[in-house]
Amino acid sequence: MQMSLRLLVRVSAAVVAGLLPAGTWAIPVPVRRPQEPMHRDFVVKGPDGKILAQAEETAVVQKDLVRSRLTFRFIDGSLDDEEAVFTQAGVFHLISDHHVQKGPSFPTPMDIMIDVPSHTVTWHETHFGKDR
């Protein structure tokens, strides 16, 4: 599960990074139902029913600008925290995304920042105590 999640994140970031300079290739996603403000707390359980993580999901909406955050705090002290900022005026438009994974559940800690207006993706991973 951990490996497939990391792989999914890497592939997703690579795809987004590849599309940033050529934004005209992206197909607009129409807003059918605008995101509304929300706050949810929930737990993540394994197949055996054991609690693995506490999670919180929030969305703060200011006109057409949305800040959406999803945070998982694992029982082993690990953290998976992602905040996306986007607009929803007719079509969804990503402005930025910041994703952090660290702790025992994530053997390779990472910190990824996507900044669409500046066409930059910053990716930090720690291998054997060294930042890459």
Helix/strand/coil (H/E/C) assignment for every residue in 9-26 = HHHHHHHHHHHCCCHHHC
Helix (H, G, I), strand (E, B) or coil at 103: coil
Query: What's the pLDDT score for residue 131?
Result: 73
Q: Is it the case that residue 2 has pLDDT exceeding 50?
A: no
Pick 8 or 50 by higher pLDDT: 50
Q: Is it the case that residue 18 has pLDDT exceeding 60?
A: no
Q: Which helix (H) or strand (E) holds 6?
A: helix 2-19
Which residue, 101, 99, 95, 100, is CA-closest to 115?
95
Query: What's the pLDDT score for residue 73?
Result: 98
Pick 113 or 23 by higher pLDDT: 113
Angle formed at CA 112 by CA 110 and CA 117, multiple of 5 degrees: 175
Instruction: Render pLDDT for 26-54 as a digit per residue (tens, 0 to 9).
Output: 788 999 999 999 999 999 999 999 999 99
Cα separation, 48 vs 126, whole angstroms: 32
Mean pLDDT of 51-76: 96
Contact at 8 Å (CB) between 29 and 88? no
- pTM for the full predicted model: 0.76
Torsion from C-alpha of 77, 122, 88, 37, nearest 10 degrees: 20
Q: Is it the case that residue 74 has pLDDT exceeding 80?
A: yes
Instruction: Render pLDDT for 80-129 as a digit per residue (tens, 0 to 9).
Output: 999 999 999 999 999 999 999 999 999 889 999 999 999 999 999 877 66
CA-based end-to-end distance of the chain: 24
